[in-house]
Structure 1
Amino acid sequence: MIGHNLQKRSYNVNQDTPSMTDNNSVLAVASALETVRQDISTHAQHYGRTAQSIQLLAVSKRKPVSAIREAIDAGQRAFGENYLDEAVEKILSIDDAELQWHFIGAIQSRKTASIAEHFHWAHGVDRLKVAQRLSDQRPASSAPLNICLQVNIDNETGKAGASFADIRQLAADCAVLPGIVLRGLMAIPAPRTELSEQRQAFARLRECLNSLQSEHPGMDTLSMGMSGDLEAAIAEGATIVRVGTAIFGARAD
């Protein structure tokens, strides 16, 4: 997942995008959320799981505050953001203590202070330096930041994520940092169309988590799966799934 530098670019979080100007947008978001929730429930039941074991993370990047409020009104409480400056504007604008904000973009060192201050979760930690900065910069008045270690499960060149070979040591190093809590693993596999192939990729992440849990029993989270591979992720044990377009419509970049 690639982050984006917004320092030279202005984004109005209160500006409606074309997909959100319809008078029926509130109903559209609520209906879309219900459809996604039903899909999650159906897949969970099929694979012997409960829908309650899977958290839906509504990916609201490039969407205005008005769209997020529509999702909130429909009962959504967890939101994922990629673009830091935009996300912080939204968090401060909405200012709802019941919401849970997840940073799901790539994390450069220059971003850590703001992520540590404003978010509840960070999903893209793949280096000890980043974890140390998040821990050191987490406000003392806040609970420790939940983190997921990002794994490059297909060994793709140029893609963020630690290798399977490095993940055990990274987990051990992160586990002792006081300002963060090591919660689990995250991955975005290479695109695949066949369900069986999608499952194989996610199974590797599940097996990796299983191998770490004896040393780190608090690691209970698999953040994996989006609209195109939702079923496969749920089949292989995803506890957080990230869905954006199916809820909010196509984003305006």
Structure 2
Amino acid sequence: MATQLFEGKDHAAVYQKYRFSPQEAVQGVIFSYLEKKGAKSFQLAADVGCGTGQGTHFLAKRFEKVVATDISQAQIEEAKGAPHPPNISYQVCPAEKLPFPDRSVDFVMSLTAVHWFDLPPFMQEVNRILKPSGCVAFISCTLDVQIYYKNCTEKLTEIFREIHKPLLPYRDEKVKRVTDDYKFIFDSLPFQDKERVTDIVEKVPMTIAEVMGYIQSFSMYQKFLKAHPEEAKSLIQNTERRFLEVMGVSSRDTPVELGMRYVCVLGCKNS
């Protein structure tokens, strides 16, 4: 069964508010791959482990129907409650038991989620539901993050990385699948026709307040918060104060850019 770390309503609300959709670079890698593989059918896409749905929306522009699933009822409720295109529907279910007939899906995507799954049964499900010549894309942002602001980028990035030190004891073992740039995920995909891209870089416009919210959406921060609520809140407050001092500003709404490196495993089912 997939690891369940995003179950609480409060965590789901933070996730909905502060997580963001893949930008042009990630979308470009996915759709360029589909074009390269000669994808002809765009009837049905499945977004597995969709969370609160931010990553689902761009699929609706290309596919007639998108079904997004997640094991967390709270996450799905947040996704359903947010504005979304009419050709997207949401369902609660585990990644290892998907609600699709055999050979019925054209494209399976998982954004910042597949590393949490029980991979052998999940990969069996992917193989079962995909049509012949159907494709997959398993994407994750990495821990390689930079914060850009004028001439303060190096100092801000250093502060951001320091946040992880008190959170490390609360990091789940499966995060190693991210820190190895999805090599384990790549090796687990049972298709001969596959590739791994590890150098997708995007800059996401955010404010300092949104950066702090993004940090609070981390599963390891939420576990830290549950174990030591006062220390966790102090970590956020002190980090924000340090950011603002380095930048020489007082407003939490000061805009910055969050530089994210993504990895992506792509594959095509040839039979």
Indicate the TM-score class for this superposition, using the shorter chain for normalisation. 0.3 to 0.5
**TM-score (norm: length of structure 1):** 0.35
